[in-house]
Amino acid sequence: MVLLEFSMSPLNKGDSVSQYVARSIDIIDRSGLDYRLHAMGTIIEGEIDEVLAVLKACLEAMAADCDRITCSAKLDYRAGYSGRLQTKVDSVEQKLGRRVKTLGSASSEQDS
Amino acid sequence: MVLLEFSMSPLNKGDSVSQYVARSIDIIDRSGLDYRLHAMGTIIEGEIDEVLAVLKACLEAMAADCDRITCSAKLDYRAGYSGRLQTKVDSVEQKLGRRVKTLGSASSEQDS
Amino acid sequence: MVLLEFSMSPLNKGDSVSQYVARSIDIIDRSGLDYRLHAMGTIIEGEIDEVLAVLKACLEAMAADCDRITCSAKLDYRAGYSGRLQTKVDSVEQKLGRRVKTLGSASSEQDS
Amino acid sequence: MVLLEFSMSPLNKGDSVSQYVARSIDIIDRSGLDYRLHAMGTIIEGEIDEVLAVLKACLEAMAADCDRITCSAKLDYRAGYSGRLQTKVDSVEQKLGRRVKTLGSASSEQDS
């Protein structure tokens, strides 16, 4: 299993690209892989073939109506590990000995 | 204001680097800037001088006992905007017309 | 066609990772795709399936004897364009009206 | 000393951004730091303060007339090392036992 984080934007569609990002998130959400959306991209977890297939699907969907696309990505592989979308964050808080502003905690403060 | 996302790891300290990441998060947490930790890095929001000073402080702290460090980062600048750690995510969900797995929602499911 | 730039390193093999990078370059060199190696990664040009297949092959080769791997990557898609490993650099120099330190010019100074 | 590789583009200026990239390269070229331009970004070498100052200068110059800017960057720190723009490439070729397509070799083939 790997974690793949990526962000993908058209270069020629103006200041706001959230409608294009929303289309990518729709593809990711329907892929069945576990994922988390945040302000600078989306992290998905799966086998290497699975995550690269989602990346490719997002690029092809965006290329249907965008002539220039930039995408930055990061892969994190750790032999024998999975479920790391949350455990990597827990491990840092545990080493620190206190809770910090993870996307979870900050959002639930706002929701309450 | 800018959003800076970065992840920083030593290359010569074995499989698990969470203790070194925890030290960086401690620096970020004490910086006073708004931030969110997630599984592939941390996003901070501030003026360019502020966010680069935090990045430098993390690098210098890690270089105190790590001889090889790799760091990847992303900057997102949008004139006249701030508070984007949450509004960028909200904007995508609003375009999609439904809530998706943001770090907030996923975590509060687990916490409840 | 897309440009894919990536760098891939094991996290648990000490300060120097060039032997592992060399194995990736061997895979890239034998792939038949056009590419350029530089100090912070390698840029390859091909169809999306081709470049992702090379990325996957490098990850699987490294995972054979490395338990933790980090990889950062960037994709640049521009409809209707190819041969961009050199033309993107030429276009910047042409806009500047002078030659600057591209990896080419700097190296040939050293070789002469 | 660190190596900083970055690429910086406006999101709202159309398909071609080379004129904006050229302005950044002008700033880098005049900074006095050693650097190499390639198809996916520019690598500069210097002390952390020096390289972050150049990154900031490029962002501020681009923000003068671009309302949305995306930048991805990578830092590589290795205690006690410098001159790595070329030595990192040489080390990989030396491990491989043959020359490969580095930006230098490929360009000099074209120039000859």
Which band of pLDDT confidence, cut at 50, 70 and 90, is reported for residue A107?
Answer: very low
Q: Is the CB of B79 less than 8 angstroms away from the CB of D72? A: no
Classify domain C2-80 at the CATH topology level. Alpha-Beta Plaits (3.30.70)
* D49 in B contact zone (CB under 8 Å): yes
Q: What is the pLDDT of residue A102?
A: 85
Length of chain C: 112
pLDDT in tens, D42-84: 999 999 999 999 999 999 999 999 999 999 999 999 999 999 9
pLDDT band at D32 (very low <50, low <70, confident <90, very high): very high
Residue A112 has pLDDT above 50, yes or no: no
Residue B106 pLDDT > 90, yes or no?
no
Is the model's pLDDT at D27 over the cut of 60?
Answer: yes
Cβ distance A59 to C80 less than 8 Å, yes or no, reads: no
- The answer to whether residue A109 scores a pLDDT higher than 50 is no
pLDDT of residue B102: 85
Contact B7, B71 (CB under 8 A): yes
What is the pLDDT, as a whole number, of residue C103? 66
Nearest CA in chain B to A17: B92
Q: What is the ipTM of this complex?
A: 0.93
Is pLDDT larger for residue D62 or for residue A12?
A: D62
**Fold of domain D2-81:** Alpha-Beta Plaits (3.30.70)
Q: Residue D104 has what pLDDT?
A: 55
CA distance D36 to chain B (A): 18
- Per-residue confidence (pLDDT) for residue B104, from 0 to 100: 55
The pLDDT mean for chain A works out to 92
pLDDT at D102: 85
Q: Which residues contact A62 (CB under 8 A, 6 or more apart)?
A: A8, A10, A20, A23, A24, A69
Taking CA–CA distances from B7, the nearest residue in chain D reads D74
The reply to whether B91 touches chain D by the CB within 8 Å rule is: no
pLDDT at C106: 45
- What phi and psi, each to the nearest 5 degrees, are found at residue C13? -125, 20
What's the pLDDT at A20?
97
- Which residue ranges make up each domain of chain A? 2-81
Res B8 pLDDT > 60? yes
Q: What is the 3-state secondary structure (H, E, C) of chain B?
A: CEEEEEEEEECECCCCCHHHHHHHHHHHHHHCCEEEEECCEEEEEECHHHHHHHHHHHHHHHHCCCCEEEEEEEEEEECCCCCHHHHHHHHHHHHHCCCCCEHHHHHHHHHC
Give the pLDDT score at A111: 35
pLDDT digits (tens, 9 = 90+) for B37-95: 999 999 999 999 999 999 999 999 999 999 999 999 999 999 999 999 999 999 999 99
Contact check, Cβ <8 Å, C63/A71? no
- Is 50 exceeded by the pLDDT of residue B108? no
Distances from the Cα of B49 to the Cαs of A88, B4, B52, in angstroms? 29, 11, 5
Of D63, D73, D75, the CB nearest to B77: D63
pLDDT 10s digits, D3-22: 999 999 999 899 999 999 99
Task: Spell out, as residue ranges, where chain C has pLDDT lower than 50.
Answer: 105-112
DSSP string, A60-75: HHHHTT-SEEEEEEEE
Asked whether D45 and D82 are in contact (CB, 8 A), the reply is yes
Asked if the Cβ–Cβ distance from A77 to C59 is below 8 Å, we say: yes
pLDDT of residue C104: 55
The amino acid occupying position D11 is: L
